[in-house]
A = this chain, B = another copy of it.
Amino acid sequence: MAPSATTANHVEFDTNKSKVKSLQLDGNEDHDLVLRSFRVLIADVVQQFNGGHPGGAMGMAAIGVALWAYTMRYSPEHPDWFNRDRFVLSNGHTCLFQYTFLHLAGYKHMTMNQLKTYHSASEESLCPGHPEIEHTGIEVTTGPLGQGIANAVGLAMATKNLAATYNKPGYDVVSNTTWCMTGDACLQEGVGLEAISLAGHWKLNNLVLIFDNNNVTCDGSADIAVSEDINAKMAASGWNVIEIMDGSHDIQGIVAALKSAKESTDKPTFINCHTIIGVGSAVAGDAKAHGAAFGQEDVDNIHKINGFKAEDKFNVPEKVYNFFKTQGPSRGANLVQEWEDLKKDYCAEHSKLGLEFQARVKGKLPNNWEDFIPKDLPTSATATRKSAGLICNPLAQNIPNFMVGTADLSPSVYMAWPDKVDFQSPDLITVCGINGNYSGRYIHYGIREHAMAAIANGLAAFNPGTIVPVTSSFFMFYLYAAPGIRMGALQELQAIHIATHDSIGTGEDGPTHQPIEIAALYRAMPNLLYIRPSDSEETAGAFTVALKAKHNATIISTSRQNLPQNKESRRDAVKYGAYVLREKEDATVTIIGVGAEMCFAIEAAEQLAQDRVSARIVSFPCQRLFEQQTREYRRSTLQSNKTVAVVVEAYAANGWERYANASISMKTFGKSLPGKVAYEYFGFNGKVIAGKIQAYLEDLKQERIWKSEFVEL
C-alpha cells in the first residue's frame, strides 16, 4: 500500500524490520518498559492456555499506550461516565489488547487473575474470546468483522446529536470522542466500507479510526486479497488521513497523530499505522502470529529479548502501573468531577433543557410516552406500513430519544414525520439545500442496510435508553442487515426495526423482494422479537411492546398492501404473542392467522362456517412472546387437545409445527405478479383454504394422515 495522502508523522519504515526480533523503541524509558512488559504479558497469557490471538495485541501495544495513557478521556473509577470517550475494538479477536490496557489503566475488576482466565474454562471470566458489552469497560461487543467500525460511527453520531441538542455556549456537556481500532479485515468487509462512506458524508470529526496495518490476515500477506491504495480511498471517502510508518514503536508519533485528529479537522480521521504483528516473536510479521500461542520456547525468548527472565510469568513491574497512575486515570477522575460541576451549572442556567438532558443521561423516555401512541387508528383497510408510520411519527416527533432512519426508502416506509430535521452535517445545506444538521433525528442511511443496523447498535450502546434507534427498510433487506440485527439482539440493545413489504403481497418486484423464509431466522434468534401485526391495532400493540422491551431488539413486520381492520383485534393482546381472535365453543379447527394473511384466515373460517365446519381463529403476531406465557395460557389459546390447528401464512412453514398440525404456506420462492394475483397464484384465498382444510380433516378421519404429522396443505 503506497503512502499517498497527508502524513503527519514520518518515521522511516524499513520493511525488513518486520522480521526483526529485537525492539526499536522511541527513546522514552517509560515507554520502553511498558511496551516490553505488555508484550511479554500477552505472550504469557496466550501460552498459558495454548490458544488465542497474541500477535495483533503485541503489534498494537504502542497504539494502546498512546490511547490509554495520553489521549483518551475516561475514568476507571467511573467506567460508565456519560461523557467518557468511547473505544471500539473492531478487530475484536485482539481483545487481550483491550483487557490488558484496562488492567494497566486501573479498572479494578480487571485483575491479573482475570486476565489469566482468557480462553479458560472459567464461567465467570470477564475476558471472553471477543469483547462483550456486559463487562465493565467494554462499549460494544465485537468479533464479526467490520461491524465495529459501524458501531463507532453510531457512537460518534450519538455524541454529535446530543451535543447539537444540549450544548450551550460555555457548556459542552457532551463532548466525547470515539476511537476505533481496525485491522485489515474490517476494511475489507462491506459493512465497514458502508460505515466509512457514511462517516465521511456526515463529517464526523469526533471519530478516529486507527488502522492496525500489519498487512497480515489468516491466509498470509494481506496482499493476497487486496491491492488498493487505502489512503487514497479513505481520502476520496471524505476522511482526513494520517500515516504512521512505525506504529509498533513510535508512541510519540501516534500521540501527535491522535491529538491532531481530535483538534484540527472537520472530517473523521483515519490513522494508517504500519505495525508488526507478533513483534518480538519468532513469527513476527507472519500470519502464524495471528491466532495461536507461540510455544514455550519462543515465549521464553520473548521474555529474554524484552529483559525478563523466562521463569518470570505474568510479571508487570510496579513502574508500569505507576506510569499509568501518573498518566491517564488521575486525569480521568478529575474529568468526571469537572463534568458533574459543569452539568450542575448548566442545569441551573438552562433549567428546562437541563431537566431533559438529565432524563436522557438516565436513559429515560418521558413518563407520558404511551400517550403519543394514537388511540384512534384508521378503521378502514390500511397497509400496516402506513399504520406503523401513523404510530411512530408522533412518538418520534415528541420524544427526543427517537432517532429514526431508513435505508433509502422514505417514500415506502412512512417513517418521516412533519417538519422532521435530518441528521446531517450542517455543511450539506450548501450542496443540496436539505433541512438538516446534527440535532436532526431523521437519518438517511443510503442503500446500506447492514451498516444501518450496526450503526443503530452504536446509537443504542452510547448509553442505555438515551437513544432509541428506529431503522426501516423492506423486510427482504433485513437479510442484508441480519449480522447487525443479530449483534443487537446478542447485546440486548433496544432498537426497533420497521420491515415493510413482508410477504408475497409485495407483488410485482418478484421473488427477489418477497421474503418467504427470512422470518424463520428472526423467530429463531434469541432476544429478538419478530412481531407481525395483522392490522393497525396490532401494530400499535407492537410498538408498545417494543418500547417496553428494554433488552430486546424488535422487528415490526408490515405489509405493503392494505389490510382490513379486524373488529376483534386487540392491541393490548400483542404482548401475549398470540390470542383468541374469534372463539367458537364447538370448534373442530383452530385457524392461526398471521400478519398480512390474517384476512385469508378469517375468510376461510367464514367459508368453513357456511360448510358447517366450526373454526375458531387465533391471531399470532409473535412466537417468542407467546413462548413466555404460562402453559395454561398457551393451552387455552391453542386448544390443541380439542381442535386441529392450521396456520395461514405466506412464509415457509418452518417453526409453526410447534403450534399447528398443518399449514397453508409457501413451499417455494414467490413470483413476480401483482400482490393480489400472487396470493391467488399460491392459493391464498378463503375458499381454496377452506377446501384444503376440509380435505385435510377428511384425510385425518380416514387416517391417511396422522394429526401428529405436520403437513403443508
Q: Is A238 an interface residue (CB 8 A)?
A: yes
Inside 8 A of A523's CB, which chain B residues have their CB? 520, 654
Q: How near does chain B come to A122, taking the closest CB pair, in angstroms?
A: 8
Once the chains bind, are A641 and B706 in contact (CB under 8 Å)? yes
Chain B residues positioned under 8 Å from A657 (CB to CB): 655, 657-658, 710
Interface hits, A91-131 → B, CB 8 Å: 92-93, 119-121, 123, 125, 128-130
Q: Which of A305-313, A323-331, A407-415 contacts B (4 or more CB under 8 A)?
A: A407-415
- Complex CA gap A480/B480 in Å reads 7
Q: Knowing A508-B52, A525-B517, A526-B517 touch, does A408 contact B218 (C-beta < 8 A)? A: yes
In Å, the complex CA distance between A106 and B228 comes to 41
Partner pick for A480 among B184, B483, B677, CB 8 A cutoff: B483
Most buried by B among A51, A227, A512: A512
Cβ distance A45 to chain B, nearest Cβ, rounded Å:
13
Once the chains bind, are A448 and B655 in contact (CB under 8 Å)?
no
With a cutoff of 8 Å between Cβ atoms, the chain B residues found around residue A512 in the complex are 92, 130, 141-144, 487, 490
User: How does the 8 Å CB contact mask read for A147-169 relative to B, with 1 for contact and 0 for none?
Assistant: 00000000000000000000000
In the assembled complex, A347 has its CB within 8 A of some CB on chain B: no
- In the complex with contacts A221-B432, A225-B408, A512-B490, A672-B130 CB distance below 8 A: yes
Look across to chain B and name the residue whose beta carbon is closest to the beta carbon of A433: B221
Expressed in whole angstroms, the Cα–Cα distance for A310 and B194 within the complex equals 45
Residues of B within 8 A of A229 (CB): 236
Shortest Cβ gap from A160 to chain B (Å): 16
Nearest opposing residue in chain B for A51, CB measure = B508
Please give, as numbers and ranges, the residues of chain B lying within 8 Å of A92 by CB-CB distance: 512
Nearest CB in chain B: distance from A186 CB, A: 8
With A132-B672, A408-B225 as contacts: A219 and B444 at CB distance below 8 Å: yes
Per-residue CB proximity of A430-452 to B under 8 Å, as 1/0?
01101000000000111111110
Instruction: Indicate with 1 or 0, residue by residue over A218-233, a CB within 8 angstroms of chain B CB atoms.
Output: 1111011111111011
Residues of B within 8 A of A200 (CB): 227-228
| List of B residues within 8 angstroms of A121 by Cβ | 673-674, 677
What residue in chain B is nearest A239 (Cβ atoms)? B228
Residue of B nearest to A232 (CB): B236
**Which of B145, B406, B428, B524 is within 8 Å of A517, CB to CB?**
B524
User: Is B482 within 8 A of A479, CB to CB?
Assistant: yes
In the assembled complex, A614 has its CB within 8 A of some CB on chain B? no
CA distance A409 to B145 in the complex (A): 13
- Asked if A235 is at the interface of the complex by the 8 Å CB criterion, the answer is yes
27 cross-chain CB contacts under 8 A: A51-B508, A52-B508, A93-B509, A121-B674, A125-B672, A128-B672, A129-B508, A130-B672, A132-B672, A141-B512, A142-B512, A189-B194, A190-B192, A190-B448, A193-B194, A201-B227, A218-B408, A218-B412, A224-B428, A233-B236, A480-B483, A516-B526, A523-B654, A526-B667, A635-B709, A640-B709, A657-B658
